[in-house]
Structure 1
């Protein structure tokens, strides 16, 4: 509201419609009436999201197919409301869960509105499930020293990821991806791998900070990232990356389409549809659609290879865990080219130039040096946590000398190597 008070109407509208629709769904036993309220709530929420996020995208593409200028769709200049993709999905999952009797409709409008607009997760997630967060607003929250310590550790790590890694690497990535005609070969690959860590640390950094702030207030937000670049398969990657969104699409798109309970060809089509929609969720641009479609193809190919009795030579080599992780990371990084490119034409230029290997590599020594050190620290922490099976240094309420030393070092790294004018979080635009 402090940014643009007019947009307050949107979140109020979506909140009130879903709140009253859920109550009406619960109050009637007539299935067709329940469906009316459910579809009305879904349609109203998606309509707001469509007009503010996708109207111009579809209008531009439709106008390009229309010969008559008199029948062209008008374009509307407006800014994307902050957090609209996140809170819209929360209201959708809430009404759907009430319809399927997975939870009772909330009768307190204040508690429900607080669930939708809870400030740590409002603008960039995680996309919380009502069964996890709603009950927490009914208990009395108290200040606890252990919560403050644990929350502070999340916050420090989150700022380290954002300021020291993401915003530092963005200096190099932006200089390459915003000038694709000026670079070749190794520079393109170096910028792409840097972006892989930039977007991880930018988005996971926000989620980690949000989790820490919520912990200060005695609330537990869901884990949104779980060391995704340690994944051993594409399926494993999507169980670790943006968990709140990937699980949302699984439960409310993939499974309703038939999920795994249909013939194989239909199952693969369901996967592709789900990931194309996931790409569209990220933004109204063909680059995001291609990114989502590519991940859908990754999963289809992975499933096809699993179904074969005889493993390929490649699969035998990938039985080594480290090689599997390297392969998944490279394939995911390749897909990030479409995600980061300013346009499809830019992505094509990058792909063409990526094979033009030469010795003229663009370097930014300070940025890459600090970035490499920070990434190394993060990788060491991830390897340690992966071997232990948990983030014990974050979750442990007690602080040993080693943990205190680690977080003091992270704070010093933030002030010494951090970039404090790097702009907003990437996922604010989604």
Structure 2
């Protein structure tokens, strides 16, 4: 079930009023039933995997809390990780590694047939396995006491607004919200409706319109010139941002309508002044999850500089592989890790550049934003490429076939992107993501009216799937 469909609109119209007339405990039962229905609409058979992960981690959490022997506690943590990572590996990575091994053996002169699985990737498995697994780890670390109510825990794991594409919520923040009673707050509800509307506007007006251009240009990558290749790259940068942040906004809005607060997942990422800052603004819930459950356990910044750079590279490569079972994602993770390492090496030199004049400081910051944005855009080219051959072809088009971008593509891309950029510049300069809520009523009225007409007249209502659903 997609947020940008009438199916979901009917679902929400029935759920919201029924949910708020119930007391706390029945609310949680309804929330769990609604979440399972939401997930089963994709493929009912995969609901069993979600339930299996839930039951196993609920039991492991209780065992880890009850047992005092550290080695035995670690066994249950290992059991949880084996189950969750095992499911993830089987459904998402088996065919990738099997095909890679077969190709490697073939290049060595050995034609060894390796069977591949005809399986469909369960939607959202990368998200809910990380969330469920982190619960057992947090119980082991004594960061949270395990819940003894399996309905509340199941509602935590399967909470439908963020189930299939995040943000990845920590048990320390979401589980307590499920455990305590919730009261209807009209202001919170209004704020939720705004976030749903704004998120879906970014999705159907910006992302889905840009997708038509991106798919067209990437689909004929062998024949386009450098100008069109650049348009494809820039367009995809805003497509993936509006697609993913639009989903997150809608998810946060739906959660607010149900009395919950989900974590902020995007904070104007294209205004970052360095690769490190970019990852503190983009997909924040995954960045912090990888930091706390992978980078720090690997050693983090402790030890020598070499170990620090190793930990950064491993974290980002694994993060790249998390996004998809393809060598382009591994390369994308390697590239992001390399950016972080190079930035750390150059940071002492960059810190010495401290302009004193206000205009000079603004120009220096603008230059850093410009450079960081283009480094990120090159990463998006790696991310979007369907193969290494396509990646090489797009790079070759920019380098060897430079050309002025075709006006037939510039105009529609500009029409879609510029209003968003103007609004985000206002957010950035005011340092307030809710700047529109603090403007006079007549300014808000014009803004909401413009968004409404853009949504109705310019939206692509084909029920386009969100990009991150494949991860």
CA 1:218/1:302 → structure 2, altered by over 3 Å: closer, same or farther? Answer: same
1:394 & 1:105 partners in 2: Cα distance? Answer: 40
1:326 aligns with 2:357: no
CA 1:310/1:283 → structure 2, altered by over 3 Å: closer, same or farther? Answer: closer
Runs of 5+ in structure 1 lacking a partner?
none
Aligned match for 1:344, one of 388, 397, 405: 388
Aligned to 2:417: 375
Query: Shift of the alpha carbon at 1:417?
Result: 1.3
Aligned match for 1:401, one of 442, 461, 464: 442
2:462 & 2:398 partners in 1: Cα distance? Answer: 30
For residues 73-222 of structure 1, the aligned pairs below 5 Å read 73-222=114-263
1:385 aligns with 2:424: no
1:414 & 1:333 partners in 2: Cα distance? Answer: 27
Query: Shift of the alpha carbon at 1:150?
Result: 0.5
SS at match of 1:101: coil
1:238·1:246 contact (CA, 8 Å) conserved in 2?
yes
Aligned match for 1:418, one of 453, 459, 464: 459
Decide which moves more: 349-358 or 185-194: 349-358
Runs of 5+ in structure 2 lacking a partner?
1-39, 355-359
Query: Shift of the alpha carbon at 1:405?
Result: 2.6
1:22 aligns with 2:64: no
2:105·2:111 contact (CA, 8 Å) conserved in 1?
no
User: Larger helix proportion, structure 1 or 2?
Assistant: 2
Aligned to 1:5: 44
2:219 & 2:423 partners in 1: Cα distance? Answer: 32
2:328 & 2:270 partners in 1: Cα distance? Answer: 22
SS at match of 2:262: coil
Query: Shift of the alpha carbon at 1:10?
Result: 0.7
For residues 33-48 of structure 1, the aligned pairs below 5 Å read 33-48=72-87
TM-score normalised over the length of structure 1: 0.94
For residues 238-317 of structure 1, the aligned pairs below 5 Å read 238-308=279-349
1:309 & 1:207 partners in 2: Cα distance? Answer: 34
CA 1:254/1:170 → structure 2, altered by over 3 Å: closer, same or farther? Answer: same
SS at match of 1:120: helix
CA 1:358/1:386 → structure 2, altered by over 3 Å: closer, same or farther? Answer: closer
| Aligned residues between the structures | 425
1:119-161, CA deviations, whole angstroms, 9 ceiling, x for partnerless residues?
1101111111111111111222233321221011111211111
The Cα RMSD (Å) is 2.2
CA 1:13/1:245 → structure 2, altered by over 3 Å: closer, same or farther? Answer: same
1:240 & 1:224 partners in 2: Cα distance? Answer: 7
Query: Shift of the alpha carbon at 1:218?
Result: 1.1
1:49 & 1:309 partners in 2: Cα distance? Answer: 41
CA 1:358/1:348 → structure 2, altered by over 3 Å: closer, same or farther? Answer: closer
1:147·1:216 contact (CA, 8 Å) conserved in 2?
yes
1:230 aligns with 2:271: yes
1:148·1:215 contact (CA, 8 Å) conserved in 2?
yes
SS at match of 1:256: helix
SS at match of 2:105: coil
CA 1:144/1:162 → structure 2, altered by over 3 Å: closer, same or farther? Answer: same
CA 1:414/1:111 → structure 2, altered by over 3 Å: closer, same or farther? Answer: same
2:113 & 2:374 partners in 1: Cα distance? Answer: 42
